[in-house]
Structure 1
Amino acid sequence: MKKILAAQRESFMAALPEPMSIRKDRLKRAAAMIRDHADRFCDALSEDFGHRSREQSMVTDIAGSIGPITHALKNVEKWARTEKRSVQFPLGLFGARARVEYQPKGVIGVIAPWNFPVNLVMSPLAGIFAAGNRAMVKTSEYTPVTAALFEEIVGRYFDATELAFVSGGPEIGKAFAELPFDHLLFTGATGIGRHILHAAADNLTPVTLELGGKSPVIIGKDADLKQATERVALGKMLNAGQICLAPDYLLVPSDQEGAVVEGLKSAVGAMYPTVLSNPDYTSVVNDRHFQRLNDWIDDARAKGATVEVVNPANEDFGSTNSRKMPLHIVRDATDDMTVMQEEIFGPILPVRRYDGIDSAIAEVNRRDRPLGLYYFGKDAAERRRVLDRTISGGVTVDDVIFHVSMEDLPFGGVGPSGMGAYHGFDGFKTFSHAKSIYQQARVDVAKLAGLKPPYGAATRKSIARQIGR
């Protein structure tokens, strides 16, 4: 890995300034790499998960990878323009000028997760390549078939000094994070994010952390319950809930809990009338996560929760080795249950009641700041209060998750749900160095401003002007 990094950095420095034509060419090759092997990536994803919906993979990992690259291709010249900045009066009158030029940082490290192991490699690469950088990617050990496919095909599209993939377990991940990158992007769990930050600290490597947390859904007092429950169910069941932005718990008005639960059941039944043999529904990624989810359900039951399993076809899940898991709605969820303490990352949805919007807001605010927050409702004042009184990485109103797919919006967390952001122009800026350039006027500005000794009347006049006397 050190040799790859050294070769990439040497190649990067030799090529400066990175031409726009090369940046665009890399973006085009990145899109071609995914487009040309779309079917193989879908097969690899399904093998890694035990079963993964082919259409879902095409939407989230194939189209979802090419979309950000296409957006970058369309906009990179605009993003890279020099920005004129103002200078203090009267320097501009004397001919002084200021500007910001966006310069590539160098070699960017990307540590990708297992839940969307193509999209969460390629979406960052859109900004990385647009900014003129090289990249090294550490893939997840939980999706080894997908990782092996990347390693097999990357050489057909990129020289190793432009883009390289490495794979392996925690020890490789630790060594990767300790490399002196010019920037490091990590997507994954909050607990691991802390270790990544520690590992990068010795090199003072700037870090973007895309983490997770418990993203709440607030059902407003006048929400369209049919629409809201359908959209929540769709977001929760996508990838079997294995999404950092999946709805993690529902806050519902006390008198509407029953209607919300029935709406969820109806929506799930319409989308997934069967689960076990349904090609549209994805499996839990591995045995460890499957066991974890079942343990958390048992914990909730043992502590007094009512768990309603949404099983429209009354299938026998105990008679199969499949890791297909139906939606489990956890009612009467309390703070001492694991499902209300940890990010769930699976098809389990706790439901909690509230009386008055301020109590729902207080429920959100006493927890760590989440990656996403979702509000459904028609009351503009109530909506505004939720937006003003809560802090989250991003918000989708009247739906869930969708803000992540808007390329012109920054995507990132806040506090325990992450730091920094990327996507679109914000990604270009994250992976660029904004270089300040000041060009001095021809006149002796230091003398005019009283900065040149011996100090005297001009100095005192300048000080008085600046401090407002």
Structure 2
Amino acid sequence: MSDAQALSARLEAQRRAFAVEPFPSARRRHDRLARLDAMTRRHRDEIIQAIRQDFGHRADAETRLAEITPLRMAIHYARRHLRRWMRPKRATVPWRLLPGRARVYRQPLGVVGIIAPSNYPWHLAWMPAVDALAAGNRVMIKPGEQTPATSALMARLAERYFAPDELCVVTGDTDVARAFSALPFDHLLFTGSARVGHEVARAAAANLTPVTLELGGKTPVIIGTDADLEKAAERIAFGKWLNAGQTCIAPDHVLIEASRLVEFIDAMTRTVTTFYPRGSASEDYSAVPGEAQRRRLTAMLDEARDHGCRVIELGEHVALPDGGAKLPPTLVIDPHEGLAIMHEEVFGPWLPVIGVRDLDTALARVTEGPRPLALYAFTDDADLRRRLLEETHSGGVVFNDTLWHNAVPALPFGGVGASGMGAYRGEAGFLRFSLARGVFLQSRRSAVGLLNPPYRRWLIRLLGL
């Protein structure tokens, strides 16, 4: 059986199961979420080991911090609020239609497909599944092909904790991923690069499948004139070099007034030395998996050097026994706009730091550029915060820190423009994977019959129609 046929058979099995139970009870949904939580909790050490194997090296603490804990927090949040989300919502009825009533019912869509990337293989596969299961759907997941050990573990555990017509994990190469994206799901969520996102959207369009795309982009950091540079350096370094920069919402570049540039570089250097005392060889610093990814990053940095950029490496290139490597935290000072490091998402440990004339210039650069998945600003200036919120667009905004909006289960997570479309997480995710079904309940004592033909012109004028 071909990949496409096998995938279609799985989808059809889930469709049949959904037809038997088109509106799962709150108890059934709670049970599914509880099983996902138990699976993650009981097999935490196996998950950590599989991810470490796929990466060549990944600090155990980072996997717990970025993969396991946020997922379990999201599950607990969904279970706590699920009954309220499921309740029909009252809708206001125009006075001319009273005493009729209106409600909005939130109905499961059916079967939701999820295509996950390899940078956070557990988190980004299961986090949207939390919302899809809470909304009462069946789920099919295609994890990233660059993390085979984690994907295999995911598939084994899914078979143990879920019926295949309830939730299943499909492993395979890019051909399987293409066949998966061409399935007629009721909704398809993709997390990954913009290039692949275009392909997924085209494949889904053939079936008129609605999509949610999380694509990343060039997340800027603006440092205000009132910012404490030591504190800003600490929070930027955490967000940038968690997972060696392989985070879709990692700081991509920093915009700071040129007069404070040297001071900021010194603060970043001190911070990285504190975080990683042995440089790239530190246990808490992660590897960059995949030879193609490392070649891309190396070429990006070499181009910056060749064009005269000042490059400050805060560690050494460390080769790993399995052929992988750790690439050092690196600052690239004032790169030119035409360089790849300035027009491609870095998605690695290089951090461009750009000196600007003033904050108006920094704000203009953000406003004129592609809309990012996140925007970070270090300032307590209320006017600057207001301008950032009103004049710029981004998926999320964090003041005086980085990344942590992603750890708040109640906040929607999603992109805008070049960084994606649609949001999920929490109630936003429940709504994303639900059909908001408008229902009108006519009263037996309704007077709308007076509007039947032949029309009474005086009544229509009286009612202001």
Shorter-chain TM-score range: over 0.9
Match of 1:247 among 251, 259, 266: 251
Equivalent residue number for residue 416 of structure 2: 414
**CA 1:307–1:319 in 2, change beyond 3 Å: closer, same or farther?**
farther
Do the aligned residues in 2 keep the contact of 1:91 with 1:441 (CA within 8 Å)? no
Any idea what SS the aligned residue of 1:21 has?
Answer: helix
Equivalent residue number for residue 55 of structure 2: 49
Equivalent residue number for residue 465 of structure 1: 464
Equivalent residue number for residue 384 of structure 1: 386
Equivalent residue number for residue 455 of structure 1: 455
**CA 1:220–1:36 in 2, change beyond 3 Å: closer, same or farther?**
same
Match of 1:14 among 17, 20, 28: 20
Do the aligned residues in 2 keep the contact of 1:373 with 1:392 (CA within 8 Å)? yes
Match of 2:230 among 214, 217, 226: 226
Q: What do residues 176-221 of structure 1 show as CA deviations (whole Å, max 9, x unaligned)?
A: 1111101111001111111111110111111111111000000001
Distance in 2 of aligned mates of 1:335 and 1:441:
65
- Range moving further from structure 2, 400-409 or 110-119: 400-409
Please say if 1:145 is aligned against 2:149: yes
Percent sequence identity is 42
Amino acid at match of 2:58: R
Please say if 1:256 is aligned against 2:264: no
Equivalent residue number for residue 186 of structure 2: 182
Any idea what SS the aligned residue of 1:396 has?
Answer: strand
Do the aligned residues in 2 keep the contact of 1:275 with 1:324 (CA within 8 Å)? no
Distance in 2 of aligned mates of 1:214 and 1:70:
32
**CA 1:23–1:298 in 2, change beyond 3 Å: closer, same or farther?**
same
Do the aligned residues in 2 keep the contact of 1:112 with 1:139 (CA within 8 Å)? yes
**CA 1:193–1:459 in 2, change beyond 3 Å: closer, same or farther?**
farther
Match of 1:65 among 54, 58, 71: 71
TM-score, with length taken from structure 1: 0.95
**CA 1:317–1:7 in 2, change beyond 3 Å: closer, same or farther?**
closer
1:14-413 correspondence runs (5 A): 14-92=20-98, 95-311=99-315, 315=316, 317=318, 322-413=324-415
Distance in 1 of aligned mates of 2:69 and 2:103:
37
Distance in 1 of aligned mates of 2:324 and 2:163:
40
Distance in 1 of aligned mates of 2:443 and 2:134:
34
Distance in 2 of aligned mates of 1:328 and 1:30:
38
Distance in 1 of aligned mates of 2:217 and 2:409:
22
Equivalent residue number for residue 4 of structure 2: none
How well do the aligned residues superpose, as a CA RMSD in angstroms? 1.5
Distance in 1 of aligned mates of 2:369 and 2:317:
37
Q: What do residues 133-166 of structure 1 show as CA deviations (whole Å, max 9, x unaligned)?
A: 1100001100011001111221211000111011
Amino acid at match of 2:437: K
Amino acid at match of 1:310: L
Distance in 2 of aligned mates of 1:180 and 1:458:
52
Any idea what SS the aligned residue of 1:350 has?
Answer: strand
Amino acid at match of 1:39: D
- Range moving further from structure 2, 41-50 or 267-276: 267-276
Amino acid at match of 1:141: E
Amino acid at match of 2:453: P
Amino acid at match of 2:218: K
Shift of 1:64: 2.1
Any idea what SS the aligned residue of 2:76 has?
Answer: helix
Distance in 2 of aligned mates of 1:276 and 1:334:
27
Any idea what SS the aligned residue of 1:90 has?
Answer: helix
**CA 1:276–1:247 in 2, change beyond 3 Å: closer, same or farther?**
closer
TM-score, with length taken from structure 2: 0.96
Shift of 1:322: 4.7
Amino acid at match of 1:297: L
Distance in 2 of aligned mates of 1:459 and 1:200:
50
Q: What do residues 22-60 of structure 1 show as CA deviations (whole Å, max 9, x unaligned)?
A: 100000001111111111111100110111111111111
Distance in 2 of aligned mates of 1:436 and 1:289:
47
Structure 1 runs (4+) deviating above 4 angstroms are: 315-322
Do the aligned residues in 1 keep the contact of 2:319 with 2:325 (CA within 8 Å)? no
Shift of 1:293: 0.7
